[in-house]
Amino acid sequence: MLRFETAGESHGECLIATLTGLPAGVPVTAAAIDRELRRRQQGYGRGGRMKIETDRAEIVAGVRHSRTIGSPIALVIRNRDWANWTETLPVEDFEGSEEKKKPVLRPRPGHADLAGVLKYGFPDARYILERASARETTARVAAGAVAKAFLEQFGVRVLSHAVAIGAARLERRASWEEVAALNEREEILLGCVDSATERKMKDEVDEAYRTGDTLGGVFEVMAHNVPPGLGSHIAWDQRLDGRLAQAVVSIQAVKGIEIGDAIEAAASFGSRVQDTIHYDAEPRRFRRGSNHAGGIEGGMSNGEDIVLRGLLKPISTLRRPLESVDLATREPALAAYERSDVCVVRAAGVIGEAMAALVLAQAFLEKFGGDSLGETRRNFDGFIEQVRSF
């Protein structure tokens, strides 16, 4: 069973990810993880922090001579900003620490601040936002990069692009080839495959900058070359769609998920949105007339590309703050402002890729097992042959 965990606070020493259950022999390098971390930092609309931090992963366990050895993998990403926070968030208390604290007393509507202080009983929201912050997703992306390295051994690739930012929207489907070409680029503006739409997206973000506001949007994650049979119809918690939904909606500020063309399908006749089934005798292969289902039927991958969309609410820290209440005085006050992103659709897409890759790698290992990559490959090849000769 593949499982992963993260630890770390936004302004603490570092972020940590552990990943347990990957077979031995998977090629993994820090450079490949760093590339994903760099992708997470991309996108017009990010706050000042992305300029301070160039994230780098250190692999401290589970990988030797550039390959996994079957033991838990541990990854560390240092927070460069920690140097400025050593006295604000010390591990051990010291005399005079009270004056060094940076309390957050005016909870931001939409953030974890108020619910968090009520739940944990802290006098201010500092400790809550330190962990609620999407800085945590740095560790998810690092773990996801390792999951991607595993999936790539079987030809499976997971990428994303921006579908909508504010009111600017790509009004057509993007092909896998377009999404793959977009993600080859070193420089990314907002991550849309269509440059005219991307310009409109940038106008939306500029408007938010001008007015001290923020924006959400929609990103799409595609998984290409996924074999049929991952996940299962037999139990609610084995269904691949449900598992992907939890993984993607767990990303900070993601409030919804669409699998395939779910929204359009809900307003359509069945005859228009079910994917017709065909058979090509020569490659002896089933083929679908379309992929409205987004590659999943009955909670199982069906061999088509898996396509899902994450719906991101606007960032809740506004330069033009909303009404709130001071936690100390209970008087009306404007919400706190700390350096913040304005729009993170591109980054959320990259995080969505990581979460999808982790779920797919988990389902893949449930189906094919293996303590070594060779063993997994044997099981995988055997199943692919079984499907071919069905």
Ligand X SMILES: Cc1cc2nc3c(=O)[nH]c(=O)nc-3n(C[C@H](O)[C@H](O)[C@H](O)COP(=O)(O)O)c2cc1C
Which spans of this chain sit near ligand X (rule: CB under 6 A)? 47, 110-112, 132-134, 137, 251-253, 313, 315-317, 340-341, 344, 347-348, 351
d(CA 383, CA 72): 27
C-beta closer to ligand X: residue 6 or 252: 252
In the complex, least distance from residue 132 CB atom to ligand X, rounded to whole angstroms? 4
d(CA 71, CA 355): 21
Q: What is the dihedral of CA 126, 100, 54, 116, to 10 degrees?
A: -10
Q: How many residues are listed for the chain in this entry?
A: 390
**Phi, psi dihedrals of residue 323, rounded to the nearest 5°:** -65, 140
d(CA 141, CA 344): 15
In the complex, least distance from residue 112 CB atom to ligand X, rounded to whole angstroms? 5
In the complex, least distance from residue 244 CB atom to ligand X, rounded to whole angstroms? 17
C-beta closer to ligand X: residue 137 or 362: 137
C-beta closer to ligand X: residue 104 or 363: 104
Q: Percentages helix, strand, coil for the chain, rounded to the nearest 5?
A: 35, 20, 45
In the complex, least distance from residue 139 CB atom to ligand X, rounded to whole angstroms? 13
In the complex, least distance from residue 13 CB atom to ligand X, rounded to whole angstroms? 20
C-beta closer to ligand X: residue 22 or 139: 139
In the complex, least distance from residue 252 CB atom to ligand X, rounded to whole angstroms? 3
Helix (H, G, I), strand (E, B) or coil at 315: coil
d(CA 191, CA 185): 10
Residues 6+ apart with CB under 8 A from 54: 38, 41, 80
164 bridge partner residues: 169, 218
Buried/exposed 213-231: b ≥16 CB within 10 Å, e otherwise: bbbbbbbbbbbbebbbbbb
> Which two tokens mark 369?
């097992």
> Which two tokens mark 351?
């995080």
C-beta closer to ligand X: residue 302 or 316: 316
> Which two tokens mark 368?
């094919």
d(CA 276, CA 289): 5
Helix (H, G, I), strand (E, B) or coil at 283: coil
C-beta closer to ligand X: residue 141 or 156: 141
In the complex, least distance from residue 170 CB atom to ligand X, rounded to whole angstroms? 20
In the complex, least distance from residue 125 CB atom to ligand X, rounded to whole angstroms? 11
In the complex, least distance from residue 347 CB atom to ligand X, rounded to whole angstroms? 4
C-beta closer to ligand X: residue 311 or 373: 311
- Residue 260's Cβ-side half-sphere holds a number of Cα atoms within 13 Å equal to 20
C-beta closer to ligand X: residue 132 or 354: 132
Say if CB 192 and CB 321 are below 8 A apart.
no
C-beta closer to ligand X: residue 293 or 351: 351
d(CA 202, CA 200): 5
In the complex, least distance from residue 371 CB atom to ligand X, rounded to whole angstroms? 35
d(CA 113, CA 128): 6
d(CA 7, CA 14): 8
d(CA 57, CA 323): 39
C-beta closer to ligand X: residue 162 or 296: 162
